[in-house]
Structure 1
């Protein structure tokens, strides 16, 4: 098995690369979190063998990284990831001039303040209790269950657990049912922190492709049948980052196949309510089978600062989750739960507001992309972002150039396993239009920097794209 560094780089992406290019690629992995501070890198000899390069090239690349403070050499010859001592933010000055496109999230809904005020009597009524809420307030669980029922999935409050956000929910699920060394099916691309959670719980990842046109459902079902993964992590509504939505007939087929092979389906519905103009409403996958464990969140429709999520699962799974949860937390904050109860009574107004914000953000990204020759923005009917085709395998190079323009921009491979999809870029449609316009101006300048630096290799790039 190859090293994690080469898996993240993608050996094809650095084939024949000079030491400076290889160092830049490794630096990009450090800056966007794919390599963690303190992580041990392969020895020069081992990396040279994996990449089929001379040891002198690897030595030079590691030397450049060490000079810039991105690796340190320890006694005994090991090389470990580091950050420069003056590093405040990933390559950027710690001030308001930087624009962060790594976070696809909006500011709070206008109704948050009023909902907070209305929630205070409910919170006050709970003062006589212990304050711990392992499964969640019954009234909030019933409100979440009601939302599932309205969307076509019969659900009771006993099938709901309230969590501290969706990622917290994923980690709770993996803690309760996870099996180290087993396979996990994941979409390619997908939400990066879910990949990290699966890695941390010891899973071996098996990717299945998704693009703006949707899933290769034949590949997905065949992978389920052949690999028989223990879990599968899917984002069926406004997939992050492609924006695709899985059709109802495919949902039912996937649930049936996964049930037949014993796979737990972890379905992430964090982006489900982010509709702009899709034109139809799919049935939740949880309506198709008991092997579906659904994760949801208030973070994208209300505010990321309000850490409220939930899990919907059959009662036997809920019991396992509740048995494990006290080992790392004793419930979810009561104030946020009380606020969420208020907000869930206003879902039509909430989703309407979100739709208007996303429509304006989408238009701003469309205008910016239209001004960059060779780029293509697909139809984006909802969700958090646009999965833009930049016309060549330059996503990581662009990410590095963007930092020089005070722009934090994760490259396409950040959303994958194996360092692929260098041709793609996730651009959030969640920022205010004026902020997006400024970001796109900086991005266009960074693109010019990249094109000038690679103009001599334009013929090579035409044949090097990774899809």
Structure 2
């Protein structure tokens, strides 16, 4: 079994790479958080054998990283990930005028303030309670269940758990039903933090391809039948990052196949309500069978600061999840739940705001892409982002060059297993138009740097590791 470092780099991406290219690849993994501070890297000898390179090449690559402050090396000991002095850790707040394209999220809906004010009497009525709500407020569970029912999946409040966001929901599901060492089917590409959650829970990942034109449904169904994974994590509506939507007939077929092989489908609906002009609305996958566990969130339709998510599942699964939840949390914040009740009572206003903002952001990104030679943007009828084809496998190099232009830009491989999709970039369409225009101008300059052979060494700029 290969090392995690080589898995993240992608063996095909670094075949025949010299020391500088290898060092740049490892640096990119550190800067976007795929390698964590303190993580131990393979020894020079082990990495040389795994990559079939000379040990001197590995020694030079580690030496470059060491001199730049990205690893620390002990003579005769380990090599561990560090960050240069003065650089921010991945995931920390941006500084100066950096634009962060690693986060695809809008500012709050205009109705958030009024909803907060309206929620206060509801919150005041709860002051005499313990303040803990393991499954979630009944009013909020009713509102979430009603939304599922309106969309074509009849649901009761007893089939809903309120969580602290969608990622919290995924981790709760994996805690409740997970099996270490089992296989998990994942889309390629997909939401990076879901991949990390599955890794943490001990799953072996099996990818199935998705592109802007949709899923290879034959591969997807054949993989389910042959591998029989314990779980499959899917984003069927405005897929993150490709923007594709799975047709109704394929949803039904997929759920049936998964049920026949005993696979739990974890369906992420975080992006479901982000419609600009798709022109049709598929039924929730949960309408097709009890083996579907659905997660959703308020963060993309209301505000990222609203840490409210939910799980929809059959009652036996809900019971299992409620049994394990107290091992790491006792519920979700009551104030945010009260606000969410108010927001969900006016979905037309929420979706209208989302549609307008996404339409404006999409137009700004389209205009920016049109000005960069070789770049192409597919039709993007909704969702968080555009899955840009840059025409050549230089996504990681462009990501490094973008940092010198104060632009935080995760490369295509960030959304994959095995370091593939170097021709792709995810560009959020969630920024205000003026900010998106500025980001695209910086991206064009970074692309000129890459194509012109300019240095992509981030140590040449004081705050290059800001994310």
Shorter chain as denominator, the TM-score bin is over 0.9
Q: Using the TM superposition, give the Cα deviation of residue 15 of structure 1 relative to its aligned residue in structure 2, in angstroms.
A: 1.3
SS of residue paired to 2:129: coil
Give the whole-Å Cα distance in 1 for the aligned partners of 2:88 and 2:173.
Answer: 34
Match of 1:260 in 2: 260
Within 5 Å, give how 1:349-368 maps onto structure 2.
349-368=349-368
Give the whole-Å Cα distance in 2 for the aligned partners of 1:239 and 1:85.
Answer: 38
Give the whole-Å Cα distance in 2 for the aligned partners of 1:341 and 1:306.
Answer: 12
Give the whole-Å Cα distance in 2 for the aligned partners of 1:246 and 1:91.
Answer: 31
Q: Using the TM superposition, give the Cα deviation of residue 75 of structure 1 relative to its aligned residue in structure 2, in angstroms.
A: 5.8
Match of 2:288 in 1: 288
Match of 1:195 in 2: 195
User: Is the CA contact 1:92–1:406 (under 8 Å) kept in the aligned structure 2?
Assistant: no
Match of 2:373 in 1: 373
TM-score (norm 1): 0.96
What's the CA shift string for 1:49-98, capped at 9, x where partnerless? 11111110000000011111111113642111111121125599953410
Q: Using the TM superposition, give the Cα deviation of residue 14 of structure 1 relative to its aligned residue in structure 2, in angstroms.
A: 1.1
Q: Using the TM superposition, give the Cα deviation of residue 315 of structure 1 relative to its aligned residue in structure 2, in angstroms.
A: 0.2
Give the whole-Å Cα distance in 1 for the aligned partners of 2:290 and 2:211.
Answer: 28
Q: For residues 453 and 91 of structure 1, do their structure 2 counterparts lie closer, same or farther at Cα, with a shift above 3 Å needed? A: farther
Q: For residues 346 and 96 of structure 1, do their structure 2 counterparts lie closer, same or farther at Cα, with a shift above 3 Å needed? A: farther
Q: For residues 66 and 333 of structure 1, do their structure 2 counterparts lie closer, same or farther at Cα, with a shift above 3 Å needed? A: same
User: Is the CA contact 2:33–2:91 (under 8 Å) kept in the aligned structure 1?
Assistant: no
Match of 2:244 in 1: 244
What's the CA shift string for 1:297-354, capped at 9, x where partnerless? 0000000001000000000000000000000000000000000000000101110110
1:79 paired with 2:79, answer yes
After the TM superposition, which of the residue ranges 310-319 and 66-75 deviates more from structure 2? 66-75
SS of residue paired to 1:266: strand
What's the CA shift string for 1:180-224, capped at 9, x where partnerless? 000000000000000000000000000000000000000000000
1:393 paired with 2:406, answer no
Give the whole-Å Cα distance in 1 for the aligned partners of 2:117 and 2:5.
Answer: 49
Give the whole-Å Cα distance in 2 for the aligned partners of 1:354 and 1:93.
Answer: 25
Give the whole-Å Cα distance in 1 for the aligned partners of 2:220 and 2:393.
Answer: 25
User: Is the CA contact 2:109–2:303 (under 8 Å) kept in the aligned structure 1?
Assistant: yes
Match of 1:179 in 2: 179
4+ residue stretches of structure 1 with deviation over 3 A? 89-94
SS of residue paired to 2:452: helix
Q: Using the TM superposition, give the Cα deviation of residue 234 of structure 1 relative to its aligned residue in structure 2, in angstroms.
A: 0.1
Q: Using the TM superposition, give the Cα deviation of residue 140 of structure 1 relative to its aligned residue in structure 2, in angstroms.
A: 0.3
Match of 1:325 in 2: 325
What's the CA shift string for 1:8-48, capped at 9, x where partnerless? 00111111212111101000000101111111111111111
Give the whole-Å Cα distance in 2 for the aligned partners of 1:159 and 1:213.
Answer: 33
User: Is the CA contact 2:94–2:100 (under 8 Å) kept in the aligned structure 1?
Assistant: no
Match of 1:463 in 2: none
Give the whole-Å Cα distance in 2 for the aligned partners of 1:206 and 1:253.
Answer: 20
Q: For residues 93 and 202 of structure 1, do their structure 2 counterparts lie closer, same or farther at Cα, with a shift above 3 Å needed? A: closer
User: Is the CA contact 1:146–1:155 (under 8 Å) kept in the aligned structure 2?
Assistant: yes
SS of residue paired to 1:310: strand
Q: For residues 92 and 226 of structure 1, do their structure 2 counterparts lie closer, same or farther at Cα, with a shift above 3 Å needed? A: closer
Match of 1:433 in 2: 433
User: Is the CA contact 1:90–1:408 (under 8 Å) kept in the aligned structure 2?
Assistant: no
Match of 1:464 in 2: none
SS of residue paired to 1:421: coil
Give the whole-Å Cα distance in 1 for the aligned partners of 2:88 and 2:165.
Answer: 27
Give the whole-Å Cα distance in 1 for the aligned partners of 2:109 and 2:47.
Answer: 49
Report the number of matched residues.
455
Match of 1:170 in 2: 170
User: Is the CA contact 1:105–1:304 (under 8 Å) kept in the aligned structure 2?
Assistant: yes
Within 5 Å, give how 1:26-41 maps onto structure 2.
26-41=26-41
Match of 2:51 in 1: 51
Match of 1:140 in 2: 140
User: Is the CA contact 2:83–2:89 (under 8 Å) kept in the aligned structure 1?
Assistant: no
CA RMSD of aligned residues (A): 1.4
Match of 2:464 in 1: none
Match of 1:15 in 2: 15
Match of 1:274 in 2: 274
Give the whole-Å Cα distance in 2 for the aligned partners of 1:76 and 1:310.
Answer: 50
Structure 1: which 5+ runs fail to align?
A: 456-467
1:447 paired with 2:459, answer no
What's the CA shift string for 1:137-187, capped at 9, x where partnerless? 000000000000000001000000000000000000000000000000000
Match of 1:63 in 2: 63
User: Is the CA contact 1:136–1:332 (under 8 Å) kept in the aligned structure 2?
Assistant: yes
What's the CA shift string for 1:338-382, capped at 9, x where partnerless? 000000001011101100000000000000000001110000000
Match of 2:6 in 1: 6
Give the whole-Å Cα distance in 1 for the aligned partners of 2:270 and 2:346.
Answer: 18
Match of 2:118 in 1: 118
TM-score (norm 2): 0.96
Q: For residues 178 and 361 of structure 1, do their structure 2 counterparts lie closer, same or farther at Cα, with a shift above 3 Å needed? A: same
Structure 2: which 5+ runs fail to align?
A: 456-467
Give the whole-Å Cα distance in 2 for the aligned partners of 1:301 and 1:75.
Answer: 52
User: Is the CA contact 2:33–2:90 (under 8 Å) kept in the aligned structure 1?
Assistant: no
